[in-house]
Amino acid sequence: MATAEIKVQRGEFINEPFTDFSKPENRAAMLAALAKVKSEFGREYPMVIGGEHITTPEKTTSTNPSRPDEVVGIFQKASVEHGNRAVEEANKAFHTWKRVPAAERVELLFRTADLLREHKLEMAAWMCYEVGKNWAEADGDIAETIDFCEFYGREMLRLAGPQPLTPMRGEKNYLVYIPLGVGAIIPPWNFPAAIMAGLTVASIVTGNTVVLKPSSDSPTTAYKFLEFLIQAGLPKGVVNFIVGPGGTTGEAVCRHPKTRYIAFTGSKEAGLRIQEVAAKPQPGQMWIKRTMLEMGGKDAIIVDDEADIDAAVEGVALAAFGYQGQKCSACSRAIVTEKVYDTFVAKLKARVEKITVGPAEDPANFMGPVINKSSMKSIQDYIEVGKKEGRLLTGGAQAGVDGYFLQPTVIVDLSPKSRIAQEEIFGPVLGVIPAKDFQHAMEIANDSEFGLTGAVYSKNPKKLEQASEQFHVGNLYLNRKCTGAMVGAHPFGGFNMSGTDSKTGGKDYLLLFLQAKCVAEKV
């Protein structure tokens, strides 16, 4: 199929609509999807290297954080040797995949998007169980996955073929974008479909091949996505799937001399380690490895004297406790000017105490579990620190005994330099910091090593303009919450220790997976 035909067939990019679960037929369909997925618990899944399905004596399991005794899936524990082999197989496949016309690679993404739409609720159900997302969060995750397939497909059509250059008399010149090579794809568990798929499809649509190593907390979601890619026509070796420890298997893949780039989303510490490993050339390595690193956040929402306080309270509560605060974009600091501080705190307490906590597959619950036992312990430790640094307003305890449930927790009257105000917690803990005035609030907001998202609530246009210029974050939202970036509308990526500002879902994103070659011929 020609490029022009695909453009006509797909039309302009439009974000995938969210499912309206208030409709009885959609609720019934989601309940059916949850039942179907649960009937598949405990299945064993292979590694996939060069198209070969491989099993190993050593296994790793994915469990349901709402009920940790439930095994969602059983996976093969990849060794360093498996990681190295996966890179070699990806490198073999690269030499043929890079020559596949861009239009055909784009068609693969579009067919995958169509398959995901057919199985949208089933994929959402896997995320409810495997990573504890409520219905709306899981539905949004898979909608974003579809968006990435559709958006990056259209972007590759735009970038395929010769690019316009300044004419030069006596020469015929052109510039084309070519793929890089083998990519190590290391996504997180918190967006187990969207980020994993976004990194993968951006890689393959640009002509690269990959080793996909999903988080050990969310391998089932990744494997199900791989099945859709294969069903859509993915050739062997283009995506190689392994599950293994980041410190051994993951590092081996990143270190391999034939790995050309590393696309990672996760913690600051892991991202900086990847940068360090990538910077050291290995014997036989012929290039400087490229890294696309999306790391942490300590995101702030400023509430000004002139804000709509009720709207600010709602935005802060949703941004802080949506998906249990386990988003790099989550609001973890509310910085409130002193004139409205007491009013805001009182209203926030009442709003947060309405939040329901329990198993993610139950639509009555807004908050599900945190991802695992280790994470729960780390968050609880931070809460104890917060009790000493500020005043516990609400929450602070475990919620239930079976799963990894924590109450939404708010700690107020914090110093801007406190640990709770500076360190990423990645859980349902919000710190509230008083500010003298709007200028002071801006200074507090920027006093962070991170710079991912931020928001300002104010009815004063001059203050919003000031924030637009001075609030040093990659994604700034005015009079709305700081989570919920949409593909195409909100290219996403941050500054400072939040990463390399890779701007996923934006017009310049695919260029990170390509390199430009200029050809000039004297005529």
Q: What is the pLDDT of residue 235?
A: 98
Same domain, 79 and 150: yes
Strands (DSSP E) contained in 461-508 are: 475-478, 495-496
Q: Is the pTM of this model over 0.95?
A: yes
Does one domain contain both 337 and 400? yes
Does residue 243 sit within a domain? yes
Listing DSSP states for 85-139 in one string gives: HHHHHHHHHHHHHTTS-HHHHHHHHHHHHHHHHHTHHHHHHHHHHHH---HHHHH
Rounded to whole angstroms, what are the CA distances from 51 to 66, 90, 149, 215, 396? 34, 10, 22, 21, 48
Q: Is residue 122 part of a domain?
A: yes
Q: How far is CA 105 from CA 69, 178, 212, in A?
A: 41, 13, 18
CATH of the domain at 437: 3.40.309.10
Q: Is residue 211 included in any domain, yes or no?
A: yes
Residues 245 and 287 in one domain: yes
**Same-domain pairing of 370 and 437:** yes
Do both 190 and 287 map to the same domain?
yes
Residue 131: is it exposed, middle or buried by C-beta count within 10 angstroms (0-12/13-18/19+)? buried
Strand residues in 312-428 grouped as ranges (E): 331-337, 391-394, 409-412
Q: Domain of 330?
A: 299-486
Domain count, the chain: 2
CATH number of the domain where residue 243 is located: 3.40.605.10
266-303 per-residue burial string, b: 16 or more CB within 10 A, e: under 16: bebebbebbbebbeeeeeeeeeebbbbbbbbbbbbbbb
- Asked whether residue 13 is assigned to any structural domain, the reply reads no
Tokens of 519: 């050809």
Q: Terminus-to-terminus CA distance in the chain, angstroms?
A: 33
pLDDT of residue 9: 61
Q: Is residue 496 part of a domain?
A: no
Is position 18 within any domain?
A: no
Whether 340 and 258 map to the same domain: the answer is no
* 256 within a domain of the structure (yes/no): yes
CB 495 within 8 A of CB 185: no
What is the separation of C-alpha 80 from the centre of its chain, rounded to a whole number of angstroms?
26
Residues 200 and 217 in one domain: yes
Shared-domain flag, residues 154 and 173: yes
Place of tokens 């501080």: 341
User: Based on the domain organization, do 423 and 322 belong to the same domain?
Assistant: yes
Quick one: three-class SS letters along 134-186? CHHHHHHHHHHHHHHHHHHHHHHHHHCCCECCCCCCCEEEEEEEEECCEEEEE
Q: Are residues 99 and 232 in the same domain?
A: yes
Pair 269, 408 in one domain: no
Q: Give the per-residue pLDDT at 502.
A: 79
290 & 307 share domain? no
> Are 493 and 502 a contacting pair, CB within 8 Å?
yes
Q: Which of 452, 460, 455, 465 is nearest to 492 (CA)?
A: 452
Residues that are catalytic: 294, 328
In a domain, 493, yes or no: no
Q: Spell out, as residue ranges, where the chain has pLDDT lower than 70.
A: 1-9
